[in-house]
Amino acid sequence: MEIPIINKKSFISKKWILDHRGPKNPVDFHLPYAWSVEKERTRSGAVEDTGTIFLTNKECPYQCLMCDLWKNTTDGPVPPGVIPAQIEYALERMPLVNHLKLYNSGSFFDGGAIPRKDYPRIAAILKDFETVIVESHTSFIDERVLAFRDMLHTELQIAIGLETVHPEILPLLNKRMSTDDFQKAVSFLAQNGISSRAFILHQLPFISAGEGFVWTKKTIDFAFDSGVECCIIIPTRLGNGAMEALQHQGRFQLPSIPSLESVLEYGIALKKGRVFADLWDLEIFSDCTQCFAIRKNRMEQMNFKQEILSPVSCDCQA
């Protein structure tokens, strides 16, 4: 079914996005709001435990259309010293890992989120990790990254939300980032010996499932052509109020699990770098209890092996 892109500019605005929000969750800036350990295929090809610490800090200034990360943020900046303490708190409670992601619901290099004076202590805490991955909007990717890298003495990778290269929809996401900005940021990082990974949305609002499939593939192509080392395909979710409103208006439909499998297959077949499907909360996309677990397991194994495995056959696809 085609979903008409009608009058989209007339209603998508920062105010419209904010007006659809519910309340934030209560958070304590002395504590990370979550941490986890999951297996991930590393650049060397081994599948190893990788920790993620979800830091509690000030809300991201961008307020993208599809983002729900604001839910676990503070309204104002956190004091210096708090972020290193959050990292130590989580590490004391997590199993030992060699690879660590620090995700702060925004940009690590946004001084309003992570005080720059905390970099030396954070770098000292992280010195024994093999890989450290942090996320950032392109607008914060400059000499701040190099300053942190120079203190870190471990491999640093930057995760950047590219989301899509659809020329009409990228501006509607309120990301205030162009594909040129993305290319420049990735090449700046590469010139300085820092690798990058792209977050890519699978199934945008305003377009049909068929077009969504095409644009995810185009976005993977663009990310690798720009020089990223890894692409993470994220099925677009509900959860922030604005996406529910678009769904209610018939302007957004959740992606199907078979379509996620197909774009994962496409990305892996390129053999240009690691490609992962984000499987968090995957059951919300399922409409078949018979094949869900098999499809989830297939994608998990494809994430690990970076090979296309035998397709799942089920009556739901007949």
Please identify which residue in 101, 175, 197, 296 interacts with ligand SF4, judged by CB under 6 A: 175
Q: Which does 60 bind (CB under 5 to 8 A by kind): Zn ion, ligand SF4, none?
A: ligand SF4
Q: Name the residue nearer to ligand SF4 (CB basis): 105 or 131.
A: 105
Q: Give 278's DSSP letter.
A: -
b (16+ CB within 10 A) / e for 153-188: ebbbbbbbbbbbbbeebbebbbbebebebbbebbeb
List the beta bridge partners of residue 111: none
Residues of span 46-105 touching ligand SF4 by CB under 6 A: 60, 62-64, 67, 69, 105
Nearer to ligand SF4, 163 or 265 (CB): 163
Choose between 64 and 220: whose C-beta lies nearer to ligand SF4: 64
- Would you count residue 137 as binding ligand SF4 (CB under 6 A)? yes
CB nearer ligand SF4, residue 64 or residue 186: 64
Is 227 in a helix, a strand, or coil?
Answer: coil
The correct pick among 32, 51, 115, 161 for binding ligand SF4 (CB under 6 A) is 161
Residue 288 contact, options ligand SF4, Zn ion, none, Cβ 5-8 Å cut-off depending on partner type: Zn ion
> Residue from 125, 147, 288, 308 that binds Zn ion (CB under 5 A)?
288
CB nearer to ligand SF4: give 175 or 202. Answer: 175
CA–CA distance, 62 with 101 (Å, rounded to integer): 21
Smallest gap from residue 298 Cβ to Zn ion (A): 12
Residue with tokens 């809300």: 59
| Least gap, CB of 257 to Zn ion (angstroms) | 9
Instruction: Output the CA angle 191-192-196, nearest 5 degrees.
Output: 85
Binding residue count for Zn ion, defined by CB under 5 A: 5
Out of ligand SF4, Zn ion, none, what residue 192 binds, judged by CB under 5 to 8 A for its kind, is: none
Closest C-alpha to 300, from 277, 282, 281, 283: 277
Min. distance of Cβ 32 from ligand SF4 in angstroms?
Answer: 16
CB of 128 to Zn ion, least distance (A): 45
Footprint on residues 218-257 left by Zn ion (CB under 5 A) = none
Q: Is residue 316 near Zn ion by the rule CB under 5 A?
A: yes
Residue 230 C-beta: closest distance to Zn ion, Å? 29
Q: What residues are paired with 39 via a beta bridge? A: 49
Cα-based distances in Å from 5 to 116, 170, 178, 228, 308: 42, 13, 20, 30, 34
CA 231 vs CA 168, 228, 259, 268: distances in Å: 22, 7, 16, 10
Query: Using an 8 Å Cβ cutoff, are 226 and 187 in contact?
Result: yes
Q: How far apart are CA 218 and CA 20, in angstroms?
A: 30
Q: Which does 63 bind (CB under 5 to 8 A by kind): ligand SF4, Zn ion, none?
A: ligand SF4
Using the rule CB under 5 A, give the single segment among 19-27, 123-131, 213-221, 282-290 that binds Zn ion: 282-290
What does residue 81 show for φ and ψ, rounded to 5 degrees? Answer: 100, -25
Q: How many residues bind ligand SF4 (CB under 6 A)?
A: 11
Burial class (CB in 10 A: 0-12, 13-18, 19+), 8: middle
State yes or no: residue 258 binds Zn ion (CB under 5 A).
no
Q: What is the C-alpha separation between 162 and 223, in angstroms, rounded?
A: 8
Q: How far is the CB of 145 from ligand SF4 (least distance, A)?
A: 16
Contact footprint for ligand SF4 (CB under 6 A) = 60, 62-64, 67, 69, 105-106, 137, 161, 175
